[in-house]
Structure 1
Amino acid sequence: MTKRRFGKRWALAASFAAVMMTLAASASAAQPAEPPMKAGKPIQAGDILSGELMMMEVRDAKEGGKRVPTYQITSEPRRLPQPGGLCNLETGPETFQLITSSNAQAAQLKALIGKAISVKVGEVACAQDAGQISEAVVTKWSLVRQR
């Protein structure tokens, strides 16, 4: 028991599939092959890290679920010193969470949200705790004035 026009529907579906395969083949041939990604340059204590500052509120497990502001810089990929190395990433981390150690540091960053900033790195490590939202964590830092 076949329906009427079964052959016509099958032919239409087959021709549609052939057109889609032809388009996919021409699209993949038109795209140049991407070069392999290189690991970023290494970052050491005392280096300058630049990027756009973002702020998110996350729930802190230590504070009983209280929402706390978390600051993050998105920058070019950078390699970390050993033992963290690349933080288990192919190119090194691109996002760096800034840990504030005082209310003064938090106030400094709050005024610069959404702007490009530069910080001098004191200590940096791979993110390991569940509350850390970035690939790498900068625990000691100081803000560098841009001209």
Structure 2
Amino acid sequence: MGEAFAQTPKPIRNGDVLTGELRVMRSRAQGKRIETYQVLSEARRIPGPDGMCNLETGPETFQIVTHDPADIGKLKPYIGKNISIKASDMSCASVAGQVSDALISKWSIVQ
């Protein structure tokens, strides 16, 4: 019983801070270079009816959605380091082949 309790993920709500290592994954699609930014964190339960994202322990990898070059510039200094992100809008990954368990589409860096 204690083991099951230890594995219960902490909830994270819109506006809460997520902390973890920022990673970047580089790939090519149709000749275009694509960089995907991801925070590796402890398992969390996100808002919504499927807050566990169909995972036993909840999502641990969170893709940071970048909307423009300025967003990328904000993230680059933190690659490979711990970062704290204020997550304003989160959802479970829904497309087959996505590299993260969940997405953060609105965010800001917490200093």
Q: TM-score scaled to structure 2, two decimals?
A: 0.89
Report the structure, 1 or 2, having the larger helix content: 1
Over the matched positions of the two proteins, sequence identity in percent amounts to 51
AA aligned to 1:118 is S
Seen in structure 2, the aligned counterparts of structure 1 residues 105 and 93 have a Cα distance that, compared at 3 Å, is same
Q: In the TM superposition, what whole-angstrom CA distance separates every residue of 1:58-82 from its partner, at most 9, and x where no partner exists? A: 344xxx3522110010111100112
Structure number with higher relative contact order (C-alpha < 8 Å, ≥ 6 residues apart): 2
Residue of 62, 69, 76 corresponding to 2:42:
76
Rg (Cα) greater in structure: 1
Of 5, 12, 18, the residue aligned with 1:49 is 18
Uncovered stretches (5+) of structure 1, i.e. residues with no partner: 1-33
Deviation at 1:105, TM superposition (A): 0.9
Q: Quick one: distance in 1 between partners of 2:8 and 2:44?
A: 7
Q: Take 1:39 and 1:102, find their aligned partners in 2: how far apart are those partners?
A: 35
Match of 1:100 in 2: 66
The answer on whether the counterparts of 2:14 and 2:47 sit within 8 Å (CA) in structure 1 is no
Structure-1-length-normalised TM-score: 0.68
Between 1:115-124 and 1:128-137, the stretch displaced more is 128-137
Q: Where does 1:1-147 land on structure 2 (aligned, <5 Å)?
A: 35-36=3-4, 38-60=7-29, 64=30, 66-130=32-96, 132-145=98-111
Gaps of at least 5 residues in structure 2 are none
RMSD of aligned alpha carbons: 1.7
- Number of aligned residue pairs: 109
Higher normalized strand content (fraction of residues): 2
CA distance in 2, matches of 1:65, 1:38: 42
Which amino acid letter does the alignment assign opposite residue 40 of structure 1? Answer: P
